């Protein structure tokens, strides 16, 4: 699961036909070879369709939240010109590509910083440095 989360999630782009993942299971717990599931020598192959099916439900939920935020800003007379994908959202090329497609008519820019997870660290540090209790914000 660790490899799937930290490797496949980060690199999955629908432009690729297949993704190959090494499954580091203890010896004897799974077969080394099972062509029915695409497993050969401890490496499993996922099709683009398989991975899209895995990622799309969560991606659709996130895009809906972004859409709601854009609508709320519009309702109070403030139009957003950019969407910044930070943290886990910005580190997933599939999520970023889908956001670009989804919001290209609503905003001028959908982007992520080079190290999207760093935004979480900066936010935590700034929160820790803030001298006001959170109930005052």
pLDDT of residue 21: 62
pLDDT of residue 100: 93
pLDDT of residue 129: 74
List per-residue pLDDT tens for the chain, 137 residues long: 455 545 555 556 666 566 666 666 666 666 677 778 777 777 777 777 887 888 889 899 999 999 999 999 999 999 899 999 988 888 888 889 899 999 999 999 999 988 887 777 777 777 777 766 655 55
CA gap 95, 76 in Å, rounded: 27
Q: What is the 3-state secondary structure (H, E, C) of 69-125?
A: HHHHHHHCCCCCCEEECCHHHHCCHHHHHHHHHHHCCCCCEEECCCCCCHHHHHHHH
| pTM (global) more than 0.75 | no
Dihedral pair phi/psi, residue 111, rounded to 5°: -150, 170
pLDDT of residue 131: 61
Question: Which strands sit side by side in the sheet containing 18-22, from one edge to the other?
Answer: 18-22, 43-47, 39-40, 33-34
């Amino acid at each position: 699961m660790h490899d799937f989360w930290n490797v496949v999630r980060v690199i999955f782009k629908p432009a690729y036909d297949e993704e190959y993942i090494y499954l580091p299971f203890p010896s004897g717990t799974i077969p080394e070879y099972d062509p029915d599931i695409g497993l050969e020598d401890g490496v499993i192959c996922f099709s683009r369709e398989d991975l899209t099916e895995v990622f799309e439900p969560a991606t659709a939920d996130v895009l809906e939240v972004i859409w709601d935020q854009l609508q709320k800003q519009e309702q109070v007379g403030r139009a957003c010109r950019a969407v910044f994908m930070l943290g886990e959202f910005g580190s997933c090329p599939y999520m970023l590509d889908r956001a670009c497609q989804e919001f290209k008519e609503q905003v001028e820019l959908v982007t992520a910083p080079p190290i999207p997870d760093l935004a979480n660290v900066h936010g935590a540090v700034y929160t820790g440095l803030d001298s006001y209790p959170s109930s005052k914000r």
